[in-house]
Amino acid sequence: MVVNFAQTTVSTELLKQVFLNINAESCPLFFNFHLHTIHSDGKLQPHELISQAIAHGLQGLAITDHHSVGGYQVALNWLEEWRCNHPDDHAPHLWSGVEINANLLDVEVHILAYSFDIQSSSIKPYVQSQATTGKYYQAANIISAIHDAGGLAVLAHPARYKKSLFDLIPAAVECGIDGVESFYAYKNPKPWYPCVQETMDILMMASDYELYNTCGTDTHGLSILQRL
């Protein structure tokens, strides 16, 4: 396994600092760490997503297509070209990301991976545009693979599963999870805003287990400001 640790480590350390300061007002106009493109089940082309991020003045974001980094790669290339053509304009920081199906306590959950080396052999099984099975489907193995690739692992929308977040988060901690998606709009309100009770519960658990907090719209539609 070859990992570009110099570049990946700097990016990951920057992301940790961002996560330490995430709050209910961070998303969707400052940061957004849960976005989908046509490379999984979203409707936006990668360049359309990045264009919206620039237009809204986002400071940072991650494209988290299901089991694919194709959208991220297209978006990164487009963003780099845009920067060359607009050297004096603000551009957001784009971290690598992917959303991975996982088994945790015999329930399917989603794990978000961030700021990993997309060329790492450990992450390869999870970016083949299809859900994994067997040992690759186990949460502990997925989290370990993300860490081996230099990234951070986050439990997506902890209050959306068939088991309670009060059971799932401790189990994820035992598997080595780094953070939880604390700010999430479960009822898809317009304008987007994280659900109050779920947020309070997850923030409490995050504090108890010293986890990072993240936020994201989980965009699948044509606007990065909404889920659908």
pLDDT score for 71:
98
- pLDDT in single tens digits along all 228 residues of the chain: 333 445 678 899 999 999 999 999 999 999 999 999 999 999 999 999 999 999 999 999 999 999 999 999 999 999 999 999 999 999 999 999 999 999 999 999 999 999 999 999 999 999 999 999 999 999 999 999 999 999 999 999 999 999 999 999 999 999 999 999 999 999 999 999 999 999 999 999 999 999 999 999 999 999 999 999
Question: How far apart are alpha carbons 138 and 106 in whole angstroms?
Answer: 9
Question: How far apart are alpha carbons 228 and 223 in whole angstroms?
Answer: 8
Query: What is the amino acid identity at position 198?
Result: E
pLDDT score for 6:
52
- The whole-model pTM stands at 0.96
Question: How far apart are alpha carbons 146 and 111 in whole angstroms?
Answer: 10
57, 90 in Cβ contact below 8 A? yes
Q: What is the CATH number of domain 5-215?
A: 3.20.20.140
Question: How far apart are alpha carbons 166 and 32 in whole angstroms?
Answer: 25
Q: What is the DSSP letter of 40?
A: T
Burial of 106 (0-12, 13-18, 19+ CB in 10 A): exposed
pLDDT score for 2:
36
Query: What SS3 state is found at 169?
Result: helix
Query: What SS3 state is found at 72?
Result: helix
